[in-house]
Chains A and B, each alone.
Chain A
Amino acid sequence: MRAAISIGCGLLLAALWAVPPMVANAAGDAAGSALLAEQCAGCHNLTGPAPDTVQAVRARKGPDLFYAGDKYRAEWLTEWLQKPTRIRPGGAFYGDHIVPSQATDKWDQIDTASLPDHPALSAPDARAVSAALMANTPYAERIATVTVEPVSLPIFMGDMLFDKFKGCIACHQSGKDYGGFSGPELYTAADRLNPRFIYSYMQNPQAWDPKIWMPNMNLAAADLNKLVRYLQMIAEEE
């Protein structure tokens, strides 16, 4: 499977190489960019900068997409846009979807009925949009400086790190319906995201999104590498 993907990527790269790149991009981007401006700009920030006030981050209707090319895996993007599924169990800003509990021994709940379904695209539109989005790489330099060191770790050590030592489980789900609700589910993160982005975001979330409600957990390089590996393992498991 891995090999197939690698070969696929290789072929794709070769194909891109064969066509004069400027021409290929211009054609793909134009249709995709038009779609983005028409159907997506109302909810997604496509130009940057990221919101730099608490008010603005709370008012955001969808995740920022202006650095999509630094963040996503292109294949995932093309697929998801055709069949979007929920990633953030609490929506774009969880605070808009809370049903407060009056009792101390019961938790606040997410009002799932208030979470809208995401618009879906046809296959050709998804490909065009994906190509246009992947061309947004304002943080290419930051991403290029990240080196993810391959490590091997037993899954139970990963669980310990994620749940007990670093407390990520409070906000993130590491398996279907296990974990917190205010951050994106992470058992799909390795399918969705560039591993270098995962590393860089965990290292300093505010460098990507200055007012986001994920704290900087001061993670050392050794832990960052282990967590990247752990997210790959739980993605393969689910």
Chain B
Amino acid sequence: MRRAQHTLFGLWAVLGLGIAWAEGAPVWAAEGDAANAELLYKTYCVQCHGATGKGNGINVRDMSVQPRDHTDAAGMVGLSDDRLFKAIKEGGPAVTKSVLMPPWAGVLTDEEVHGLVRHLRVLCACEGRG
């Protein structure tokens, strides 16, 4: 029974990933995903990046490097989606940036990190070039 449930769960997971990989999220999933990504951002990111994403969170006063302003389109277009994904999952040093940007792989799934990348694109109202 356990095993059957696991197999079933596995199937759903594979299906889910397949959909997530498909070009552009399907309409029926997009709204829930966006809301979830915003909740993640407001739980894990605003402590440094600020309630409005401007890089001025409660923690910044004594930090030696200021967090990136996620609403700054001019700066954010230069960072590709892959680059953002890597920075969030593996932390600043993985993209030759400060350790003050920590790695989130221990808390967030890949799918959740992809959701956050899309949320950053909403905040900057921009697409990545680079």
Is A98 a contact of B58 with CB atoms below 8 Å? yes
Is B54 close to A, CB under 8 A?
yes
Is B103 a contact of A218 with CB atoms below 8 Å? yes
**Dominant SS among interface residues on chain A:** loop
A181-B59 CB under 8 A given contacts A101-B50, A108-B50, A204-B106: yes
A235 CB to nearest B CB, Å = 19
Is B122 close to A, CB under 8 A?
no
Q: Cβ of A108: which chain B residues have Cβ within 8 Å of it?
A: 46, 50-51, 56-58
A210 CB to nearest B CB, Å = 8
Cβ proximity bits B87-108 to A, threshold 8 Å, 1 near / 0 not: 0000100000011101111110
Interface size on A (CB < 8 Å)? 42
Is B48 a contact of A98 with CB atoms below 8 Å? no
Is B100 a contact of A167 with CB atoms below 8 Å? yes
Q: Cβ of A170: which chain B residues have Cβ within 8 Å of it?
A: 48, 59, 63, 100, 102
Q: Cβ of B56: which chain A residues have Cβ within 8 Å of it?
A: 101, 103-108
Cβ proximity bits B23-39 to A, threshold 8 Å, 1 near / 0 not: 00000000000000001
Is A110 close to B, CB under 8 A?
yes
Option from A57, A98, A103, A212 in Cβ contact (under 8 Å) with B46: A98
Is B106 a contact of A215 with CB atoms below 8 Å? yes
In chain A, positions 56-105 with a C-beta closer than 8 Å to chain B are 57-58, 90, 94-95, 98, 100-105
Closest chain B residue to A182, Cβ basis: B47
In chain A, positions 200-238 with a C-beta closer than 8 Å to chain B are 204-206, 211-213, 215-218
Cβ proximity bits A104-129 to B, threshold 8 Å, 1 near / 0 not: 11111110000000000000000000
The interface of chain A, by Cβ under 8 A from chain B, is 54-55, 57-58, 90, 94-95, 98, 100-110, 163-167, 169-171, 178-182, 204-206, 211-213, 215-218
